[in-house]
Structure 1
Amino acid sequence: MTDPLLSKASINGISVPDSKLGRAITEFIRDTESELLFNHSSRVYFFGALAGQQRGLTFSAELLYAAAMFHDIGLMPSHSSQDLRFEVDGANAARDFLQGHGVDPSDIDKVWTGIALHTTPGIPEHMHPVIALTTAGVEMDVLGLTYGEYDDATREAVVAAFPRTPQFKEDIIQAFYDGIKHKPDTTFGNVKADVLADKDPHFHRGNFCSVIRCSRWKG
């Protein structure tokens, strides 16, 4: 696991929240997630916070940290339901955790929504900064969509603090697959159907038009 001292890294003035809640989040996720997902989620926080800095947005570092660190916990067996999207499992886990730490319900809603929508492109960017920046961090670390918006030194500093595995691209796809393969129906209409199609030659994705045509309505 990443050296705990690296969690104190400051990159362009961004650091992990050194508060009671921030420390509790770090401890909980470190104890619950794989090293792959812990480091990925930490990078999502930094890239999201740096994006907020670039865009001149005002946001709570604690809330963004909560959303980033919990966004993939629904992939872990300990927090994976049988019938909910993994994003919802993660959002629910964050909600329960934050409720236990006395966080304001309106702030919990922001974190919940940020996690629930992080695989739904085109919508979060128009919402509250915590929601928008959670997706921004994910899109940078997994998809590299904004790679050119970070200079080499910044990217290298984030990865030095929370390393990518040598084959991270394939490792994260495998982690997605392992976390959702038992509930393929939950990928209908979202990007994770692509993961199942990539890994399982027998997977048949749901079709929106077929649902319309097969409904009980006449005409």
Structure 2
Amino acid sequence: MDFFTAPDSRAAATALEVCQEYAEPWLLHHSLRAHVWAKAYAAKVDIAHDGELLYVAALLHDLALTSPFDSHELPFEEAGGHLARVFAAGAGWGRARRNRLSEVIVLHMRDDVPADDDPESHLLQVAVSADVSGSRLSEFSPDFRAEVVERYPRLGFAEAFLERFADQARRKPGCAAAGLVGSDWPERVRKNPLDLLG
């Protein structure tokens, strides 16, 4: 099964263009890897989901960590949710679907969401956790992990990502990113086995 192909839709293609334009290469690759991990995990454990919604959420979920979309008041995931609503409106999505996209992006930084309650949020959480801190990487074969990183190299992801989170934590001490920065999470990010692959 091909886990690397994007959904065939205008919204998916435009989400990729937007991410390519605004995200640094290390962040763009993280977003693309997140989609691959999510899609592969969904196939492995048989989670039915909206492929277009998941792809667009994966591509946009961290754009509020970039300078043009950073908020000095809102946690980055909430700012990202607002950005996603604007994007989805431009893509012609109705209000309910715009709200769902925003919700998936916000929830990727919240407590674990069961797949039965919200498959897209669950899949994005699993995927982002695997890519950032190595959580649940055992769900994916060593060969598949190597293929993902070969296609979308890490490009110094860990330190660049930690720097963005530390900045969020300094400016917004009550946000979820600050909670992670104040835990053992940064060390787990630095020790992610994916960084040994490239």
State TM-score, norm by structure 2. Answer: 0.84
Alignment check: 8 A CA contact 2:61 2:105 kept: yes
Aligned match of 2:171: 183
| RMSD over equivalenced CA pairs, Å | 2.0
| Aligned-pair identity (%) | 27
Unaligned segments of structure 1, at least 5 residues: 1-11, 199-219
Alignment partner of 1:185: what SS? coil
1:126-184 CA distance string (max 9 Å, x none): 5321111111110110121111110012111211111112x432232113224x15622
Aligned match of 2:93: 103
Distance change (3 Å), C-alpha of 1:57 and 1:104: farther
Check if 1:174 corresponds to 2:174: no
Q: How many residues align structurally?
A: 183
2:2 to 2, 5, 13: 13
Aligned match of 1:216: none
Q: Distance in 1 between matches of 2:47 and 2:143?
A: 22
State TM-score, norm by structure 1. Answer: 0.76
Q: Distance in 2 between matches of 1:38 and 1:192?
A: 23
Q: Distance in 2 between matches of 1:13 and 1:154?
A: 11
1:94-134 CA distance string (max 9 Å, x none): 11101111113222222211110112132364532111111
Aligned match of 2:153: 163
Distance change (3 Å), C-alpha of 1:185 and 1:63: same
Q: 1:120 corresponds to which letter in structure 2?
A: R
Q: Which has the larger radius of gyration?
A: 1
